[in-house]
């Protein structure tokens, strides 16, 4: 009867089109020609995003005893970004390969040896031309023909289709140049000359205060997490919480992305939902509980245990976040990528990317990192303020330890530190740290689940988007579009329709039902057009239920059906006869 259609137009384009047509997402500043990398949410998009945001906030803090909320400003003291490392890592000098535009950090170019070959340009049989001069390093021992082949290949892959086949590209006016040794002016991979070093600042700079001098420079935050670390001590001191506990925050963040792309997936302004969950260092757990629980496949992650170290907590949060994604209907499109030691930042112990299947590929939705005490220690160092907390239970347990037991803990830590390739602590530093620990003081370690709200919204839209071809009674084929959104996040929960709009009794009854529902659920009233069209309109925006007031409702078919309505399900179109007095409860139990 129905079958999924083949994509003649790419699915992503259909989704973008639907989003605009029905008021989910518009291009920013469209009447002025747009604005790169930023998008606005229309009426339905705003509802959808709010539902997702609320669901996250509810599960992350309101339904938990151990997580508190925070709502910090986008603007902060710029010293925060120096401490977090963003000023350094987001402002590297970069140089671009003149042939392929691949970028390398100016201070990370491996010196190259070889002979410089110059060309005035290139052209291909297709009529395509590379109009500028190029210089490429022929490496020692590289045969001239294989070198030329390599250059043609690089040109072809960068120019794309217009240049045609690599072998049909002609290199113009070849001249042999200087022999260079240990030069940092050529791209290590391609051998092509590098352009000038240019700063690549991915943070959005702004001025705080009307004078706008260099002294007033600060940045729009590139992530929400740093405010949590900066306010960690205030939250701890004002909330009567004990480690382990978390602080979560939802808010806008800004990055000057080199290439915003894939609709809202990579934007320059986006909304993050981040949790920093603070835990005791494993050594503290060992002192208090006698041992640290080891993770193994199938371990019980249903609820926190006192002997959990960072690894169990990390697994726990991956599990919690997975359950969340299942609750909004994304369970079956998730994938996980466990970063390898080579992927990890030096301060991170583990990081899992939760990936989701999008029409343009499988991409990251959320990252869950175990970051040790890196962030708090950075802010402690840069601010000069102690961010240590005092743990009474730890102090009591440590006091009871024998000196031998203490020394054993220190030795074990020393062994792991010396095994590290870089960043390992010295023995003096380790002993100083344990001295504070045995007195009950430490910087909490952190597990950081960090999710993108805009990505989540795009993910649920992409997952929900479904089209099929249907033949109507006359054999004419039409495309049916349904957004199969999970009812809990659908922007509109129920549509209310009088079967006919020219019958005042039906309309007034329908308005009554609408008034009854709209206080409790986001309800949409529609009387225009045929009933089937109204169902279809709601299907397209993902409304899970439709309520129709018909002549039976008015009692025409006898008293039994009086004051009952047809409730029609979006997925499958099944219909139920429900009493108006039961309607709100009936719907609420299914959302």
Residues of span 454-483 touching RNA by CB under 7 A: 454-455, 470, 472, 478-481
168 makes contact with RNA (CB under 7 A): no
Residue 102 or 395 having the CB closest to RNA: 102
# residues contacting RNA (CB under 7 A)? 84
67 membership: H or E segment, kind and range: strand 67-70
Give the CA dihedral 247, 253, 259, 261, nearest 10 degrees: 80
**Minimum CB distance to RNA, residue 506 (Å):** 9
Residue 283 or 539 having the CB closest to RNA: 539
Scanning residues 234 to 293, which ones bind RNA (CB under 7 A)? 255, 257-263, 265-267, 270, 272
548 makes contact with RNA (CB under 7 A): yes
Among 64-72, 388-396, 403-411, 526-534, which window interacts with RNA (CB under 7 A)? Answer: 526-534
Q: Which of 409, 410, 330, 386 is nearest to 363 (CA)?
A: 330
The token pair at 327 is: 């609750």
CA distance linking residue 356 with residue 334, whole number of Å: 5
- Per-position x/- string for 196-235, each x denoting binding to RNA as judged by CB under 7 A, each - no binding: ---------------------------x------------
**Minimum CB distance to RNA, residue 400 (Å):** 41
Binder of RNA out of 59, 120, 158, 183 (CB under 7 A): 158
**Minimum CB distance to RNA, residue 20 (Å):** 5
Among 294-302, 316-324, 397-405, 531-539, which window interacts with RNA (CB under 7 A)? Answer: 531-539
Residue 168 or 417 having the CB closest to RNA: 168
Scanning residues 561 to 590, which ones bind RNA (CB under 7 A)? 566, 568, 573-575
504 makes contact with RNA (CB under 7 A): no
CA distance linking residue 179 with residue 117, whole number of Å: 9
CA dihedral sign, ordered 373, 379, 380, 382:
positive
**Minimum CB distance to RNA, residue 165 (Å):** 15
CA 369 to chain centre: 13
End-to-end CA distance of the chain: 29
Residue 132 or 140 having the CB closest to RNA: 132
249 membership: H or E segment, kind and range: strand 245-254
CA dihedral sign, ordered 482, 27, 362, 446:
negative
Three-state SS for 475?
coil
How many CB atoms are located within 10 Å of the residue 408 CB? Answer: 13
Binder of RNA out of 230, 535, 542, 583 (CB under 7 A): 535
The token pair at 557 is: 């078919």
CB 258 within 8 A of CB 268: no
Scanning residues 74 to 103, which ones bind RNA (CB under 7 A)? 96, 100-103
551 makes contact with RNA (CB under 7 A): yes
Among 45-53, 108-116, 449-457, 488-496, which window interacts with RNA (CB under 7 A)? Answer: 449-457
What letter does residue 137 receive in the DSSP assignment? E
119 makes contact with RNA (CB under 7 A): no
540 makes contact with RNA (CB under 7 A): yes
Residue 28 or 289 having the CB closest to RNA: 28
Residue 12 or 286 having the CB closest to RNA: 12
CB 59 within 8 A of CB 449: no
Helices (H), 260-368: 282-289, 310-327
The token pair at 2 is: 């129905």
**Minimum CB distance to RNA, residue 380 (Å):** 22
Scanning residues 406 to 435, which ones bind RNA (CB under 7 A)? none
512 makes contact with RNA (CB under 7 A): no
Residue 311 or 454 having the CB closest to RNA: 454
**Minimum CB distance to RNA, residue 224 (Å):** 9
Binder of RNA out of 276, 282, 375, 550 (CB under 7 A): 550
Scanning residues 1 to 20, which ones bind RNA (CB under 7 A)? 9, 12-13, 16-17, 20
Beta bridge partners of 277: 246, 447
Q: Which of 191, 185, 189 is nearest to 119 (CA)?
A: 191
151 membership: H or E segment, kind and range: helix 144-159
Binder of RNA out of 3, 6, 33, 209 (CB under 7 A): 33
DSSP assignment of 15-50 equals HHHHHHHHTSEEETTGGGT--TT-EEE-HHHHHHHH
**Minimum CB distance to RNA, residue 117 (Å):** 20
**Minimum CB distance to RNA, residue 404 (Å):** 42
509 makes contact with RNA (CB under 7 A): no
CB 163 within 8 A of CB 169: yes
34 makes contact with RNA (CB under 7 A): yes
What is the Cα gyration radius of the chain?
31
């Amino acid at each position: 009867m129905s079958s999924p259609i083949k994509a003649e137009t790419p699915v992503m384009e259909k989704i973008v089109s639907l989003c605009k047509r029905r008021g989910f997402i518009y291009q920013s500043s469209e009447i002025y020609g747009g604005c790169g990398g930023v998008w606005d949410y229309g009426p339905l998009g705003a509802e959808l995003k709010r539902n997702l945001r609320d669901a996250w906030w509810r599960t992350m803090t309101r339904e938990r005893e151990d997580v508190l909320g925070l709502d910090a400003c986008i603007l902060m003291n710029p010293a925060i970004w120096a401490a977090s490392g963003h000023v350094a890592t987001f402002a590297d000098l970069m140089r671009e390969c003149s042939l392929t535009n691949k970028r390398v950090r100016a201070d990370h170019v491996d010196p190259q040896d070889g002979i410089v070959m110059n060309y005035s340009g290139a052209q291909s049989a297709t009529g395509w031309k590379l109009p500028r001069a190029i210089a490429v390093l022929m490496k020692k021992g590289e045969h001239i023909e294989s070198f030329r082949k390599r250059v043609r290949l690089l040109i072809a892959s960068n120019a794309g289709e217009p240049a045609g086949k690599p072998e049909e590209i002609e290199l113009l006016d070849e001249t042999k140049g200087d022999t260079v040794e240990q030069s940092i002016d050529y791209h290590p991979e391609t051998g092509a000359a590098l352009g000038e070093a240019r700063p690549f600042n991915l943070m959005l700079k702004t001025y705080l205060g009307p004078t706008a001098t260099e002294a007033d420079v600060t940045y729009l935050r590139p992530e929400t997490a740093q405010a949590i670390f900066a306010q960690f001590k205030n939250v701890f001191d004002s909330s009567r919480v004990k480690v382990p506990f978390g602080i979560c925050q939802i808010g806008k963040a800004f990055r000057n992305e080199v290439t915003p792309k894939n609709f809202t997936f990579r934007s320059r302004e986006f909304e993050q939902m981040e949790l920093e969950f603070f835990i005791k260092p494993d050594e503290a757990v060992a002192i208090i509980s006698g041992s640290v629980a080891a993770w193994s496949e199938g371990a019980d992650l249903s609820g926190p245990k006192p002997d959990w170290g960072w690894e169990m907590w990390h697994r726990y949060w991956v599990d919690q976040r997975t359950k969340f994604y299942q609750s909004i209907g994304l369970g079956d499109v998730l994938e996980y990528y466990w970063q390898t030691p080579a992927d990890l930042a030096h301060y991170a112990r583990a990081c899992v990317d939760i990936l989701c299947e999008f029409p343009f590929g499988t991409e990251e939705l959320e990252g869950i990192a175990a970051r040790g005490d890196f962030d708090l220690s950075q802010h402690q160092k840069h601010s000069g303020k102690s961010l240590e907390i005092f743990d009474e239970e730890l102090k009591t347990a440590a006091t009871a330890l024998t000196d031998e037991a203490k020394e054993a803990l220190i030795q074990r830590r020393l062994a792991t530190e010396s095994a590290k390739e870089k960043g390992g602590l010295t023995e003096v530093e380790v002993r100083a740290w344990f001295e504070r620990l045995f007195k009950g003081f430490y910087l909490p370690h952190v597990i950081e689940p960090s999710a993108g709200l805009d990505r989540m919204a795009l993910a649920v839209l992409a997952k929900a988007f479904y089209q099929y071809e249907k033949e109507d009674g006359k054999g004419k084929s039409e495309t049916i579009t349904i957004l199969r959104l999970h009812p809990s996040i659908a922007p509109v929960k129920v549509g209310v329709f009088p079967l006919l709009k020219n019958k005042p009794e039906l309309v007034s009854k329908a308005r009554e039902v609408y008034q009854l529902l709209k206080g409790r659920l986001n309800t949409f009233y529609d009387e225009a057009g045929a009933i089937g069209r109204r169902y279809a309109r709601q299907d397209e925006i993902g409304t899970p239920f439709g309520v129709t007031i018909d002549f039976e409702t008015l009692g025409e078919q006898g008293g039994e059906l009086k004051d009952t309505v047809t409730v029609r399900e979006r997925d499958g179109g099944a219909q139920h006869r429900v009493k108006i007095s039961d309607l709100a409860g009936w719907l609420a139990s299914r959302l």
